Structure 1
Amino acid sequence: MKSEQLLRAILPDVLIDNFDVVNFEKTDSRFDIWLDEKKVQLKEDRRNGDIIAYGLGEYHEIRDFPIRGRATYLHVRKRKWLDKSNGEIFSYDWDLSEYDGTRLNAEFVAFLKEGD
């Protein structure tokens, strides 16, 4: 089994599609998984040379469903983008309509929808 298949089995697809796992720690009581948003622009921003990557925001800790009896904490951070034409710094809001009925908890949905 490929590692991506395993990740898709335990994490929401929106995470695997749009974030990279950058660290993982296992202790006797919990799993901690760090995820950074991929450096991928929306189609309309790729055409606009004024939109550039501008680093990553702070990690947000989200408690997910337990795995194998251990608490699971996702440490997720979104990418920041700079519009050089007006100096605006922003993050993408994710359209989560395709994930209705999945196991995304309210805290995680709120994080993905928030802009900086």
Structure 2
Amino acid sequence: MTNPLSIFLPDSLLNHFDLLHVTELGEVSSKNMIYHIELAEKNDLHKGYNRLNYESKGFYPEKTIQDFPIRGKTVYLVIKRRRWREKQSRIEIKSDYSFIAEGSKLTIELSDFLKDTGRDPRRYDK
């Protein structure tokens, strides 16, 4: 059975991350309620790497990105990415997930949506 929250989150996010907490908070500056959805990368080594040669060394500092609102409330995904290290060379590797828009703190889906909504073709196609 799929997690019901997966219909609100970026595609296949829960395939790679475990849901830790969903917290509803009050945002002081806007006086609105927001959701913080905390996720931690699963303890699964990336494809193509031998688990015997690598060890999990905790997590990188968490990253907070904004996603689509749920029921009118702003949603922030708090992402904890796992830190992997090769045992002999001590070289670290990490997964490159494509759900974060490059150079922003938005999911790609939200970034694309915002780009499209700001463009009225009648203004530009003269």
Determine if the TM-score, normalized by the shorter chain, exceeds 0.5: yes
Structure 1 runs (4+) greater than 4 angstroms displaced: none
TM-score with structure 2 setting the length = 0.68
Gap change, CA 1:48 and 1:67, over 3 Å in 2: closer
Aligned pairs, number: 98
Q: Deviations over 1:16-57 (max 9, x none)?
A: 110011111013511110000000012332x35221111111
Per-residue deviation, 1:78: 0.6
2:96 & 2:67 partners in 1: Cα distance?
Answer: 20
Helix, strand or coil: the match of 1:27? strand
1:64 has 2:37 as partner: no
Q: Deviations over 1:72-93 (max 9, x none)?
A: 0110011000101201122122
- Correspondent of 1:19 among 8, 13, 17: 17
1:84 has 2:87 as partner: yes
TM-score with structure 1 setting the length = 0.73
1:48 & 1:21 partners in 2: Cα distance?
Answer: 23
Greater fraction of residues in helix: 1
2:2 & 2:12 partners in 1: Cα distance?
Answer: 16
Question: Where does 1:1-116 land on structure 2 (aligned, <5 Å)?
Answer: 4=3, 6-27=4-25, 29-45=33-49, 47-94=50-97, 96=98, 104=99, 106=101, 107=104, 108=107
Gaps of 5+ in 1: 97-103, 110-116
| Aligned-CA RMSD value | 2.0
Gaps of 5+ in 2: 27-32, 109-126
